[in-house]
Structure 1
Amino acid sequence: MRNAVRWLPALVWMTVIYCLSAQTGDDLGGWLHELQQLVPLMQGFDWGHFVSYFILALTYAWGLGGRRLTWRRKALVVVLCVIYGLTDEYHQSFVPGRSPDIIDIRNDAIGAALAMLFLTVPAVRRNYDRWTGAKYY
């Protein structure tokens, strides 16, 4: 039961991503376009996908908690994020004003990979290991 509870944040965040994907292009276009105008660096890169999958990767890593987060586990987290990104793009193909885009999957993968790199920063890794109860063996 305890392991199942660890996956709740990932399930909640996957639901958030699903709900955002279910919005039509018109619903998303207004505020995103305005935000991109305020921050010129945002143009040409889908920060929404990047941030969403950065967070998703952290929640997946949390779900795997209790064990040391090796490079193999980090690669698994990235692969799981990409798979979910593929299902997200497929879902978007049914939403009016939205269409699947390979660039979104690239941004998903970049976000997930950078989240796993973030967890390798020594101070972050120590806190992550303490929070998850990771054991070194």
Structure 2
Amino acid sequence: MKKILSYIAVILWMALIFYFSHQPAHESNELSTELTEVIVTAVEKVAPHSDFIVGNLNHLVRKNAHFFIYLVLGVLLIHSLRLSGVLGYKGMGLALFICVMYAISDEVHQLFVPGRGAQLRDVVIDSAGAFVGIGIYVVILFRTHVDG
């Protein structure tokens, strides 16, 4: 049952990525701008004299979203593969391969979304996020086995 639920989590996460990628450019930008404004408001409470250029920060928020959404996908995939008995370098490589292929397909998908386009830089950011997520998972798993 755990294995099935883990793959359902992967599929739902991929669906969430697809949903965000399917938003036309103006909707996607509105969402990230709203998030950026929340971040700016929070930071200004802590550091009231900070000068932010919302446009620059918005770009940073968007690129970090790419990284972290694929970091989570990498963790979900490596976990599902481990539960299926795909272990070690084979599991890590397969999880990374699936994440990179999904990132590429996601960018190709955006070619058909109004105002959006494919960006090689986003595939690199997505892949880096997946790589880090897989690495974090493996390190935590290793430490729990060594310490436990």
Which stretch has the larger CA shift, 72-81 or 105-114? 72-81
Give the whole-Å Cα distance in 1 for the aligned partners of 2:74 and 2:80: 10
Q: 1:126 to 1:41 in 2, by over 3 A?
A: farther
Q: Which ranges in structure 2 are unaligned for 5 or more consecutive residues?
A: 44-56
Q: Which has the larger radius of gyration?
A: 2
Aligned length: 127
Q: 1:2 to 1:44 in 2, by over 3 A?
A: closer
Q: How far did 1:27 drift?
A: 0.5
Corresponding letter in the other structure for 1:87: S
Q: Which residue number corresponds to residue 72 of structure 2?
A: 55
Q: 1:68 to 1:86 in 2, by over 3 A?
A: closer
Out of 130, 135, 147, the position equivalent to 1:117 is 135
Which stretch has the larger CA shift, 30-39 or 110-119? 30-39
Out of 64, 83, 87, the position equivalent to 2:81 is 64
Deviations 1:91-115 (A, max 9, x none): 1000001100000000111001101
Moved over 6 A (4+): none
Q: Which residue number corresponds to residue 7 of structure 2?
A: 7
Share of identical aligned residues, percent? 25
Deviations 1:58-88 (A, max 9, x none): 1111221333741231121111100001110
CA contact (8 A) 1:119 1:128 kept: no
Give the whole-Å Cα distance in 1 for the aligned partners of 2:60 and 2:26: 18
Q: 1:5 to 1:31 in 2, by over 3 A?
A: closer
Out of 60, 65, 68, the position equivalent to 1:43 is 60
Corresponding letter in the other structure for 2:136: F
Deviations 1:15-66 (A, max 9, x none): 0000000101101112324518737596387111111111111111122133
Tell me the SS of whatever aligns to 1:43: helix
What is the RMSD of the two structures over their aligned residues, measured on CA atoms? 2.8
Structure-1-length-normalised TM-score: 0.78
Q: By percentage of residues, which structure has more helix?
A: 2
Give the whole-Å Cα distance in 1 for the aligned partners of 2:144 and 2:64: 25
